[in-house]
Amino acid sequence: MKVIPSLVLPMLLALSAPLVGASIIKTGDVLDITVLQHPEFSGRYTVNERGFIEYPLLGEEPVINISVTELMNDLTFLLARHIDNPLVLITIIDKPEITVTVLGQVVDPGPVKTFEGASIQEVLKAAGGPTPSRADLARIKIIHHDKSRTPDLFNLDSFLVNGNVDDLPHLQADDIVIVLAEGKSRKVKVIGAIQKPGLFELEEKMNLFEVIYLAGGPTEKADLSRVRRFTRQENDNVTEEVIDLQGYIDKGRMDKIPVVMEGDVIIVYAKWFDWKTLLTVLNNTLLVIVTIQAFAGIFK
């Protein structure tokens, strides 16, 4: 082990003292303690509400309301019992670096490096920002590492409107921020040749046949061989398909009928031709012919 001459130690301490001597330690400060060539005695320690730090050699000795120089001298004296010529340097970190895990609807989820006192916006920015289409900024869950059973729910949208800084959450090291996804609509729209067109709440997993009958069922002119469905995908693209629902019914394949998704739009088209209409047309045509023949007979 390299030993620092005893004459050098006071000189180094004297040089460092003017830089930090005026700093008085208070509750909440983060102390960066460096013991040269001894990482086992080095680290960063937060002064807790009782005025202590979890430094192994200090025990229950408070460190608040004393200068940084005084604490350096105290630690130097304590460490001298364990190592030769200890050189202790202590600084107060204004904005200590912390790690916060950001999950959910962000571009780059995972742990991010930030600093104590960072705003929720800065933490989200460090994670690439919220996803543009799915993130629900009104429902951001914050799980504090020391209160994991009672997570907070923060409404960033509301804060951006009212600007009340007292509403901002205080993020700490090892906290977890979860940006929840926007809740999808549980409703589907059914329009066209049905008895009660409109919006309907999906009560459970329902197929196309069940949803149409949820809307009162098809009208007499409904063409169940041409049912069009519009579905919004995860990437916000809309797909459409024409489903031959009558074919499923005729073949007895009710278990194969497509399931309706939340937010779907269902259109049931009407038949442009049916037998009832044909018979009506034929009947009217016959009446016209008979009428013409009758008038022809009168004028002979």
Whether pLDDT at 244 is above 60 = yes
Answer whether 86's CB lies under 8 Å from 35's CB: yes
CB 55 within 8 A of CB 32: no
CA distance 196 to 189: 11
Same fold, 8-93 and 187-275: no
Of the candidates 166, 20, 22, the one whose C-alpha atom is nearest the C-alpha of residue 93 is 20
Query: What digits encode the pLDDT tens for the residues 126-158?
Result: 999 999 878 889 889 999 888 878 889 999 988
Q: Which of 17-21, 206-210, 291-295 has the highest mean pLDDT?
A: 206-210
- What is the CATH topology of the domain spanning 187-275? Outer membrane lipoprotein wza fold like (3.10.560)
Q: Which of 224, 130, 213 is nearest to 178 (CA)?
A: 130
Beta strands in 20-168 (DSSP E): 30-35, 43-46, 88-93, 97-104, 110-115, 135-143, 152-154
Per-residue tokens: 230: 């519009």
Residue boundaries of the structural domains of the chain: 8-93, 97-181, 187-275
In angstroms, the CA 110 to CA 122 distance is: 15
* Fold of the CATH domain 97-181: Outer membrane lipoprotein wza fold like (3.10.560)
CATH 3.30.420.40 fits 8-93, yes or no: no
pTM above 0.75, yes or no: no
Q: Which residues contact 90 (CB under 8 A, 6 or more apart)?
A: 20, 31, 32, 33, 34, 68, 71, 72, 75
Tell me how far apart the alpha carbons of residues 178 and 152 are, in angstroms, rounded to a whole number. Answer: 10
pLDDT of residue 98: 87
Please give the distance of CA 249 from its chain centroid, rounded to a whole number.
42
Neighbours of 221 (CB within 10 A): 15
pLDDT on residue 112 = 94
pLDDT at 18: 44
Residue spans of alpha helices (H) in the chain: 8-20, 68-79, 120-126, 156-162, 208-214, 245-250, 275-298
Residues 65-115 have pLDDT tens digits of: 999 999 999 999 999 999 999 999 999 887 778 899 999 999 999 999 988
Assess whether pLDDT exceeds 50 at residue 13.
Answer: no
